[in-house]
Structure formats: structure tokens, C-alpha cells
Structure 1
Amino acid sequence: MAPDGNAVIFSTNSTHAANPQLMREPGYDPIRDFAPVTLIGLAPLALFVRSDFPAQTLSEFLEYAKAEQRQMNFGTGNTGSLVAAHLLMRRGGFQAEQISYRGTPEAITDLLAGRLQFVVTDMGPTRGHVQAGTLRPIAVTSRTRSVALPDVPTMQESGLPDFDFASWNAIHARAGSPPEIIGTLNRAFVEAILSPEGTAFFRNLGINTAPGTPEQLGEFNASELQRWGEFVALAQIPKT
């Protein structure tokens, strides 16, 4: 069946930047096999601990993590969480045991239960726990602060220069979809994302909205694919 633009995918940094760098045979090409429609936005991650964790700031967390004979562990439920945590360990100069989960909610459950010391993840699965006071964000991973956690400093502000990492969401169609259809889709999605309802919806998920043109998404996607290769190499994560 020829591509007609009627099928779109809610794409992420996992599907279009991380997996091709983490998997030997992902089964698709994130650039060649898709037609970019629009970026939705960037989703900063944050370092989360339980509310009773002894460290309040990133410097205190790193001091605690680097204490002699300290046994630390953390949970990961997706590729963004995985790479961000490894980057934190490399840049922060400490080691911790990785515990893999099928999804982030399971990791959050064990963090709340005290079976994990920290999780680096996005705001979506943690928002209710932060509001309830059971989880505490220490620092966000992006260059700029999160719209969902405006009072939480960035890693850079907290003493880790050049730490700039964020998940992202976008819309792609099948490669070869008619340009006029891609244009129509772009205008419709951008209008919805920037509407008051759309802005509020994505803010609640911790996403800093940044829609644009298909060409801008194409350039961004190619850049992110390269950056994720650098992230994976820096974090020393082997391909599976």
C-alpha cells in the first residue's frame, strides 16, 4: 500500500534516536523510513529521591553517593532514564547498581518502597507523588528549567557544567507521504499543540512545547540521532 499520510506515529527519542544507537538491528531506519511532521516538545528528566532521602541538593547527593562503601542502586524503565542515569554517574563520579524494569511506574513503586535510592525520569509518572510530598526532585537534566518544576534547579546550575539531556516527542508519518498531506498534518498538529488546552495538557506532563516545521524536525532528528550516539558512548552502554 502506498503511503498516503493517513497513518502517523507518536514518535519519541526512544524510537527515533536511542534505539538505533542501543540496538544492533532495530529493524528500521529512523530517518529514511519516516516523514517528519512536527516536533511536539522537550521533556526534561529529573533526579528523584524519596522525601526522606538525606541529600537536599545535587552536591549533597553526589557526596552521599561517593561515600566509601556506599551501596547505591537505581531503577530504569525506558531508554531516556537509562542513559540519563548513566550520564549522571559518569559526570558525577560515582557508581550504582542498575535495576531494569518493564516500565517507569514499576521503578517508581520500588523507589517509594525504599528498594531503590534514586530514579532519573520524566515528570509524568512522578507528578502525583511530588505533589503528595512522597518524592522529591533534586535537579533537572535539561539546559533550562522544566515548566512542570520551575523551582527545581538544573544539573548545570547545581554544579555539573554541560549537562544537557531531555527526552522529546514528535509526530512522524510514513516515508513517501504526499507533501501536501504532510503540510496539512503539520498545521493541524501545531495548532492543537499551541492551543490553551494543548499547552496545559503538555505542561502537566512536564513537556516544554516546541512545535515547528517538518524541515525543522528532520534536522532536529538527525542531530539527536548523532547526539544519542555520543550519549551512549559516554555512558559506555553496550549495544544489544
Structure 2
Amino acid sequence: MRVLLLTIALLLSNWSKAAAEHYPSQRITVIAPFAPGSGTDGVARIVFKRLSELLKATIVIDNRVGANGALGATAAARSAPDGYTLLVGGTSTHAANPSMLKSIQYDPITDFVPISQFGLFPYFLIVDPGLPVKNVADLVALAKSKPGSLTFGYANALGQLSGEAFKRRAGIDIAAVPYRNSPQVVTDIIAKRVSMTFMDMAPAVSQVEAGSARALATTNLVRSSHFPAIPTMKEGGLEFINISAWTGLFAPKDTPPEIVAKLSEGVREVLGEAEIRSRLADIGFEAQWIGPAEFAKHVKDDMELWASTTREAGIERQ
């Protein structure tokens, strides 16, 4: 029996190596669990267009939208572990959902193999420019003078957590308005149907630059290197949690390690190119590659952070 098991293990190892040597030999599908125009989708299209050139393979983006990214993540988790269906996931799918949703059909740790992190989006407080406010302190004062009259829109877990934490830490009453995707939130900011939002800059950068939306502050501890004129929440007079949206590449569990290594090295090469980093910076994304082992630790640590911050914000699972 022992000899049989060793033989099977050797055969599987040889198959894994052979598969990696010829990988990719067919089209790769990357599931993006958020809408076209979202930050995750924007990063995916920039990175995978270049990666397809390096790997000499066709890579297509499949937007599977819904349940805060859980629908797309579930589809990826249930895919064959052969390297031909991947997930571009992030904070929502792999850190927030276990604490935000009552039930998800995948386990962020055991159902996936982390390949590499791409980097992160700093998060910003973006408001209707028609509001008579110039900074965070003004916004808090306005909200306190008109309890219940202001609203914040959110399209993902980070936006919801940020808004609820803002309410608690500032001691204000603002109503939450859920959306299916971030571009819709920006549209309603411009149309004055919602007062404010917390989000990455990708869906809103052109509107902020045009003045049809206003970025008051970043939720990060330090100012963004891409938007250095925007102060931090702390500089605006409010102690706040350090929130940003990281993004990275995952494969279904049991994907051969040789394929994982090949993809990780390809992503590292892509993110090392000055032109790619510049294009990502244009949508407010800070490229920060880390490999499989470190990425796995980061995911686990962030899950624990979200468990504590959602309790602080008083968010109940939905």
C-alpha cells in the first residue's frame, strides 16, 4: 500500500510539473467580482492585458457581480484547480465578507491559493460639492446641525464599514444607502441624490478633477502619494480607522504550485514595469507586489482586523 501511495504521489507530482511546463495552453478566465468601471475591474484590465502578452495567452475578464463579491468568489472557488479560472479578489471577498455576511459559500482561506497581491487603493471621503463644507470638521458640524438629513452611499463592505465608523466616531446621524456598484454611487453624488460616500478614487477620479465631486479626506494614516493635496481624516480632526482596499490574484485550492509560481512571477514582472505602474497610478492604485507566502499571511491578518473593526462599528451580518 505504501509503495502504491508513493507511486501515485510521484505520478501526481510529475503531472503537476508537466502541466506547468505547458501552461498556459488554453484561454484563462479571470473572474472579477465587481462591475465594469469599479476599481477592481480597472486594475484587472490593466494587469491582465499585459500579462496575456507575457504568457502569450488569451486572458478574459468575467465580471460576476453580486453579494459584495461573494458570487464571483464562490464561482472561482468551485472551478477546476488547473490555472484556467482565477479570481481577482481583495478586501471585500477575502477579509470583509466573513464578518459582514451571515452566510457565504466559500472559505477565503481553505478554498483558495493566494498567488500575489497587486497593491492597494487608498480610500477617500467624497462628498457632493454643493454641500457648504470645506473639510471634515465642517461636514461633522453640518451633520450635527441637521440630524438624519445627510446620507452616505456604499457599494461594498469597505464603503459600508467606513460610513458606519464615521457615524460612530463623529457622533452623527446619517442614513446609509446601499448600491450595486461604485459608479452608481458616484452618479448619485453628482446628481445630489446622496450626500457622501467612502470609496477608492478609481470610479470618481475624473469627477473629482472636474469638480463635480469633492474629496475631503483619505481614510489612510498618511496622505496618498497620488493625491497628496487631500488630507487625512485625522488631519481633519477625526481619529479614524486605517482603511484601504487591497487587490490580488487567487486560484482555487489544489492548483499546482508550479502554476501558482509561474503566475506570481508573471504578475511581479508586470507590476515592475514603469508604464503599468503609471497607468495604475492614474486610477489611484498603488502597486505593491507580494508573493504567495506573504500574501497568505496578509489575508489571514486582514480577516482578523475586519472581525474586530466590524464589531466596533456595530455592523450586523446581513
- In the alignment, structure 1 residue 128 sits paired with structure 2 residue 128: no
Matched with 2:95 is 17
Matched with 2:276 is 198
The CA distance in 1 between the partners of 2:80 and 2:199, in whole Å, is 38
Matched with 2:301 is 223
1:157 to 215, 218, 235: 235
1:110 to 188, 204, 215: 188
The CA distance in 1 between the partners of 2:173 and 2:294, in whole Å, is 38
Matched with 1:94 is 172
Q: Which amino acid aligns with 2:162?
A: A
The CA distance in 2 between the partners of 1:120 and 1:71, in whole Å, is 18
Q: Which runs of 4+ in 1 moved over 3 A?
A: none
Q: CA RMSD in A?
A: 1.6
The CA distance in 2 between the partners of 1:155 and 1:166, in whole Å, is 13
Matched with 1:81 is 159
Query: 1:44 touches 1:167 (CA, 8 Å); kept in 2?
Result: yes
Alpha-carbon displacement from aligned partner over 1:86-145 (angstroms, at most 9, x marks no partner)? 111112221201111111222222211112111111101111101111111000011222
The CA distance in 1 between the partners of 2:240 and 2:195, in whole Å, is 25
Rg larger in structure: 2
Q: Secondary structure at the match of 1:171?
A: strand
Q: Which amino acid aligns with 1:226?
A: E
The CA distance in 2 between the partners of 1:123 and 1:228, in whole Å, is 22
Q: Secondary structure at the match of 2:110?
A: coil
Matched with 2:317 is 239
Query: 2:119 touches 2:248 (CA, 8 Å); kept in 1?
Result: yes
The CA distance in 2 between the partners of 1:186 and 1:219, in whole Å, is 16
The CA distance in 1 between the partners of 2:188 and 2:80, in whole Å, is 46
Q: Which amino acid aligns with 2:82?
A: D
Q: Which moved more, 1:62-71 or 1:116-125?
A: 62-71
Q: Which moved more, 1:6-15 or 1:64-73?
A: 64-73
The CA distance in 2 between the partners of 1:179 and 1:170, in whole Å, is 17
Alpha-carbon displacement from aligned partner over 1:33-77 (angstroms, at most 9, x marks no partner)? 101111111111111112232111111211111225461111111
Scaled by the length of structure 1, what TM-score is found? 0.94
- In the alignment, structure 1 residue 44 sits paired with structure 2 residue 122: yes
The CA distance in 2 between the partners of 1:158 and 1:235, in whole Å, is 20
The CA distance in 2 between the partners of 1:4 and 1:104, in whole Å, is 32
| Structure 1 residues 73 and 34, CA gap change in structure 2 (3 angstroms) | same
Per the TM alignment, residue 163 of structure 1 is displaced from its structure 2 partner at its CA by: 2.5
The CA distance in 1 between the partners of 2:130 and 2:103, in whole Å, is 42
Per the TM alignment, residue 162 of structure 1 is displaced from its structure 2 partner at its CA by: 4.9
Matched with 2:255 is 177
Gap runs ≥5 in structure 1 = none
The CA distance in 1 between the partners of 2:100 and 2:129, in whole Å, is 33
Matched with 2:106 is 28
The CA distance in 2 between the partners of 1:160 and 1:44, in whole Å, is 17
